[in-house]
Amino acid sequence: MHPVTDSAIGVGRDRIEQAPPTVSVVIPTLNEAENIGFVLDRIPDWVEEVIVVDGHSTDGTPEVVRSHRPDAVLVNQDAKGKGNALNCGFAASTSDIIVMLDADGSTDPAEIPRFIAALRTGADFAKGTRFVTGGGSADISRLRRLGNLALNVLVNRLWGSDYTDLCYGYNAFWRKHLQRLAVDTNGFEVETLLNIKAIKANLKVVEVPSFEADRRSGTSNLHAARDGWRVLRTILAERIRPR
């Protein structure tokens, strides 16, 4: 696994010009009225499909979505949690490529071309990372960083992968791999599950440098200790689950 580079983008330029794939962006939301407009306004115009999956927000998030992006597909998730929201969004998508974005403004839609370039030059799964040259974070706490590192080392040792950032939610993949990446968890451990499933399915994973900004407004629904344990349980469960 290697970070995507400008040279890799250049190698695939001819193929990009010949057959541009369609792109769906999936964004889970729960009371993100103050943030979602900023995110939607930064999505490149050439993205064909924007899917916003709402967890029954009470702050008017769907109305903000409609005002900023009238063509967005609004989906109400059928259970709770980020994993369930993403699963609902994946099921509603119709494009060749699916891109996962957060609704709080921490993941920058302007980076989407990096992920598309990685996929179009041979990757099956383009995985965002904050911990390589060109990436970074203004949001992650020391505790979360240490926890992420420990879980990252565990996954790499168990599956022989070389991930640098296990618990980051900015990812993209070819929709044709949805069945192999089937999400069957509801919480924030969904990113870890996707990363493990990509390795278990022998998909080609390319890490893409990404900068995580501060959440623009409000309080995150992530709880480091609780969700860290959920991630650990997911790792152990995947280790004993048959391929």
Torsion, CA 205, CA 50, CA 73, CA 197, rounded to 10: 10
Mean pLDDT of the region 10-24: 69
The verdict on pTM exceeding 0.85 is yes
44-58, 184-198, 224-238: segment of lowest average pLDDT: 224-238
Q: What span, in angstroms and rounded, lies between the C-alpha atoms of 142 and 175? A: 35
As a whole number of angstroms, the distance between CA 205 and CA 162 comes to 10
Task: Yes or no: say if 96 and 175 are a contact pair by the CB < 8 Å rule.
Answer: yes
| Helices within the chain (DSSP H only) | 6-11, 13-18, 36-42, 61-68, 82-92, 112-120, 142-159, 190-200, 224-240
Q: What amino acid is encoded at 213 in this protein?
A: A
pLDDT at res. 16: 46
Q: Which of 130-134, 181-185, 217-221 has the lowest mean pLDDT?
A: 217-221
What pLDDT sits at residue 6? 59
For the stretch 111-126, pLDDT in tens is 999 999 999 999 999 9
Residue 188 banded pLDDT, cuts 50, 70, 90: confident
Q: Provide the pLDDT confidence category of residue 156 given band limits of 50, 70 and 90.
A: very high
Q: Does domain 6-240 have CATH number 3.30.420.10?
A: no
Tens digit of pLDDT for each residue in 39-50? 999 999 999 999
CA distance 128 to 203: 15
